[in-house]
Each structure stands twice: as structure tokens, then as C-alpha cells.
Chain A
């Protein structure tokens, strides 16, 4: 297919990259947001692929991503 979506349904970032294409040519692509790493297959339902249908509860902002807690926390370096 290779017509990349224009924005991430989850965080609205505009840089989307291609991760995989269907072994049967032209059926689907797997694409990924360059910021929040959300990954989706282009033939998934709209609630997973379209910004306006994506549930608000799962949407992320740039601040959400930057401020997310670390699990596990990076330990101090031994001296």
C-alpha cells in the first residue's frame, strides 16, 4: 500500500514510518508513530487507526510522554 497515514491517531504526531507490509501484496501495512511509538495495522478498525475515532482515554500528549515514570528507575552508576 505504502500510502502512509498523515498523523498518529494517539498523539497526532505527523511523522509516521512503515514497519511492515503484508506478505500478500497490497492488503495492509504496519505503521508507527515517530514520537509515541504507537503501532497499528492500516486495516484495523477506525477506533484504533483514526484520530477522530480514537478514544480520548488513550490519547497521549507530548508532556505525557516526556513525564511518564520510569519502570524500573535507572540506578546510580557504581563508582
Chain B
């Protein structure tokens, strides 16, 4: 089933036993972040958290860890909550093929209920803001779907971008904003700043669960996130027109913040405990002036804890990073079986592939590094054979231990691009990258002694499915 807003998804999570309402009074800091941090330490099927009794606030409603488990990720896609991870990724890839699905425009967006404009804008009066990690420079909006348009082609629906970026609140109507150069909004900003113009922007908070997934998904520059949301939902994505910018924004958002990125201005921002498990910043980043806030009555503030993996961030962007790489690699190399890009936004990727000829797997690894996402992320690639499940890490470690001759199978390429946030980059934005070929050599690459492998019994796959069904039926 497709969810049109966050609230209806929270209702489903609650019915499925995947939402924990915390009604005792908690401190805004450090309790909210610590509780969400803890969800990543209590197992793979942790619930979402909902807080409504936060010290000093009168009507705060805060949702965290909404996507922060495999069960919740499955439910977000309308799948049974016990769907195995590999099946979630395969179903995601299958639905991708329906892209593009045109969105459905609606005029009765619930965020039209309340408005602040101009000098009356005060984001602190709308949102129960709070800090996540000790060293953060302030309070962040870190799970928004941010909408911007190409200043040179503002009427192109596909080039309109919807993305998730870190946003520090630095005033009642001012925000600091991080557009990593590899991201689409950075291209929009560069085009506006080259002309000395402000870049209009719409920041939408508390969105339906598929909107959050596509906003964090590395799609092509001219592909519409709304049209992808429709494909993944199996139903058109509901959108509405933002009143100030005229941008297309999710119909079901809790809050819509509109304003401009002020041209050619940078101001200190950060640090922020990032998805890399390290702080990044402080750096001089662009700033946003907020001119209008629209919001549902009693809005739910959705936030996301991130820090040392795994956290909600990893569940949210794991499958949606695997699928674009899988599709882009298969377009030229149909031998590619599966792609696991679930570790730290795909800074490390595991690819299973059949081999066309000797040396082929290493070529697949190099291609992964030159995909649009790979240019900024893929720093390490592990290639495994077609019969190794890249999501099954013990199998991957077996391939690494048994099939790798380091002299021949580890390739290091110096001075390639990576996003500035990568802690190992030196200087920031530049890294060497590594391919580990853990596939079995094939002719004419004749090396090693691999002639007598032990294979799974022919009946094993059928038995695995049967056992999964029996376990699921047991509840």
C-alpha cells in the first residue's frame, strides 16, 4: 500500500508493533538523540520512536528512527515486515522498471493550514529543535526533502531536484546548508551564483516514507524523484505547489519551509556527526534566508540520528544506493548479479558478477567507480563470483580469504575524486581507490588451484525458502 503522508505510515508502524511511544518526560538533550542512537544497538528490527512529552515544550511531537530497521524499511515499501534484505533490494529494482510514473497534483495540502511569513518567521516556534551529537555546532534539520530547480532550465520537471542535505539552524529565519559538489543542488547553486542570483529553495519536513527514500537516492541529474516515488509506491506520488517558490513539493509534508540560498555568501557551519561515523566541519557553507513557513496543525517533527554506523541513515540509504549502481552496471555488464552498496553510502561496495573473460571482474570494479554516484563515493570495491551473495558478509569474507592473491588481485588507483566528508580523503575530496578481486580467475587469467570447489547441494535453495516460510508463519 502507498502512504500519502508520515502520519498514516506511523499508524501502520504502530499496528505492526514497529512504533514505540515514549510518554514519560524526557530531556530534549541528550535523551532524544541517545534513544535514537540506542535503536541502532538493539538489533536489526528496532522500532520507530515517538516522543510527545519533552521537557520545556508544551506540544512537541517528535518521530525518530522511522526507517531505522529492515522491518520498517520493508513496511515503507508496502512489503511484509519480515521480508529478507536481499528480497527488499530485488523488489526495489523490479519496481524501478516502472519509472517514470507521473505524479498526481492535489490542491488541498494539509500544510496549508498554518503560515508564517517575512519577519514573523520563527522556525523555533514551529519545530521542537534539538541537538544530536556532543560536538554538533547546533540543531539540525537532517531528514528533509529539499526541492530546487535548474536556474537555466526551470521548467524542466526532471531537472527539478529533491534531495536530502544537512541543514543547521543558525537563526529564527536563517539556516546553513551543505550542498556536496557531487550533488544536484550544488549544480543548481553554481549556476545561480555564476549569475550572481539567489537560488530559491523549498525544504519539506515529515514526508511520506517513500519520499524520504527517493530524496536520499543517487539518481541521474534529469531524473525526477517524484516519478521514481510513483514507481516505488506503485501509485502516483501526490504533489502540491509551494505558495512562495511555485515549486512542486510533497502533498503530505508536515512542514514546508521556503526561501532562498543567498548568492555568493558562505558562513561557518558545523561540525556535524556525519554518516561516516566522524564529525565533519566546521566549514564555510551557503546560507538560507527563510521567507515563508507552511505547516500542519500540531506538526510531527521527524528527525534522524546518525553517527557511528549502523544508524537509521544506513537503513534509509542502503537499498536505495544499491539499486542505481546495480542498474547502471547491468546496462553494460549484464553479468552483474547483485550489488551491496549498503556501507557508508557506498564508500565500500561489494559486487557479485559472472566473468566474460580473464580480468573482467576488475573492469566491473572500475566501472563502479565511474558511475555518477561512484565518482563521489565508491572508494573500495570487492568483486565476488556470481554464486556468492554480496549481502551475506560471511560468504564475502570466505571469498576474500580463499580467492585473493594480494599481489595480483588488489589494485590501488591514486588521486581520484571522493566527497569531502570522507574521513580518509587527503586532501579533502581526493582519495586513492581500491579494487579487491575476490572472484575465481578465468582464462586467460590462469592462476591458483580452484578446480574442485564445494557447491551447495541442489536442494538447498528450496529448503532455505521453506525454512523462511516456516519461521515467518511461527511469527
Contact = CB atoms under 8 A, between A and B. Distances in A.
Contacts of B8: none
A39 B172 contact: no
Given A38-B138, A55-B135, A69 B283 contact: yes
A27 B193 contact: no
A57 B135 contact: yes
A14 interface: no
B78 interface: no
A58 B271 contact: yes
A40 to B, nearest CB: 7
Contacts of A47: 134
Most chain A CB atoms below 10 A, which of B59, B139, B172, B181: B139
A22 interface: yes
Interface in B392-418: none
B264 A48 contact: no
B193 A41 contact: no
B131 A48 contact: yes
Given A48-B29, A65-B282, A72 B428 contact: no
Nearest to A64: B282
A20 B172 contact: yes
Nearest to B429: A71
A39 B269 CA distance: 11
A69 B131 contact: no
B21 interface: no
Nearest to A48: B134
Contacts of A20: 122, 124-125, 129, 172
A24 interface: yes
B57 A41 contact: no
B267 interface: yes
Nearest to B178: A71
A77 interface: yes
Given A44-B29, A45-B30, A23 B135 contact: no
A69 B428 contact: yes
A36 B267 CA distance: 9
A69 B285 CA distance: 9
Contacts of A37: 137-138, 168, 170, 176, 267-269
Interface in B104-148: 122, 124-125, 129-131, 134-135, 137-139
A41 B131 contact: yes
A24 B57 contact: yes
Interface string A1-44: 00000000010000000011011100110101000111111011
Contacts of A70: 266, 283-285
B29 A41 contact: yes
5 closest residue pairs by CB, A with B = A39-B138, A22-B56, A27-B56, A20-B124, A23-B58
Given A39-B138, A41-B29, A69-B284, 6 more contacts: A28-B55, A28-B56, A68-B268, A71-B178, A72-B286, A78-B194
11 contacts: A23-B57, A28-B56, A30-B124, A39-B137, A58-B135, A58-B279, A68-B282, A69-B428, A70-B283, A71-B180, A74-B193
